[in-house]
Chain A
Amino acid sequence: MPDIVAERSGSILRIQLNRPAKKNALTSSMYGAIADLLDGAAKDDRTRVVLWHGAGDSFTAGNDLEDFVKNPPGPGGSPQARLNDALITFTKPLIAAVHGVAIGSGTTMLMYCDFVYARESARFQLPFINLGLVPEFGSSFLLPLRAGYLRAAELVLLGKPFDASQAAMLGLVTRVVSDQTLLTTANEVAQSLAEKPTSCRRASDS
């Protein structure tokens, strides 16, 4: 099975991070594959909504450090940068269903989603400082915007994990749902969005 599984059902494109043995840790090729999928979905009139989730017990553990050491992202043109560009320019509704861990880019990429649903047991973390790194995916801009400077500083400068209810309070999660209803909730919202008039939604987003 590929590390990224994409399936379009009606006008909903589902992207599944599919590396469960590694808690869906993201390699450079996975970043590139997601970027390609989003770029393709942006141009495909049949796709009206994208739903993003993880296989196994987690959303994603973030960067796969072993791959990261072998393929460190450069200042331009890296798969991570391509995905960041794709997320910035993507204008169709993006929904994330988060369970297990959402670490590093697993948390920062959520800031591009229009709807984020998280299981009560989900855990989030921005551990960049613990790894001698700085925030990525535009999160140094987006996080203070969502959570306010003081809360953002605490998350970034201490790098401690936080739970789903705190993520909701910080503006990173739309709604915390029970562990049993995560995908059902995300699918219902995706279906509801898919039925809305596209032109009005795009105008609302511009």
Chain B
Amino acid sequence: MTRPLREQLEQAARVEAEEFAARVRSAEAREAFTAFLEKRHTEAIHGG
């Protein structure tokens, strides 16, 4: 990877990390996590 790309990548990763940190604490994400974990739990019990 070339050095100029690394600088752009670092900048993109910083912006993403800030957005990700906000989203991961959002009600929408919490609800999605809960639904995913409950579905997996149900599948584990019922072999789905």
Interface positions of A (Cβ within 8 A of B): 65-66, 68-69, 72-76, 78, 80-81, 84, 88-89, 130-142, 145, 205-206
Contact = CB atoms under 8 A, between A and B. Distances in A.
B28 interface: yes
Interface of B: 1-3, 5-6, 8-10, 12-13, 16-26, 28-33, 36-37
A141 B9 contact: yes
Contact of A74 (B21, B29, B30, B31): B21
Contacts, number: 77
Contacts of B3: 206
B23 A133 contact: yes
Q: Is the interface of B mostly helix, strand, loop or mixed?
A: helix
25 contacts: A65-B33, A65-B36, A68-B24, A69-B33, A72-B24, A72-B25, A73-B17, A75-B17, A75-B18, A75-B21, A131-B32, A132-B23, A132-B28, A132-B31, A132-B32, A134-B16, A134-B19, A134-B23, A136-B20, A138-B16, A140-B16, A141-B12, A142-B12, A205-B1, A206-B3
B16 to A, nearest CB: 6
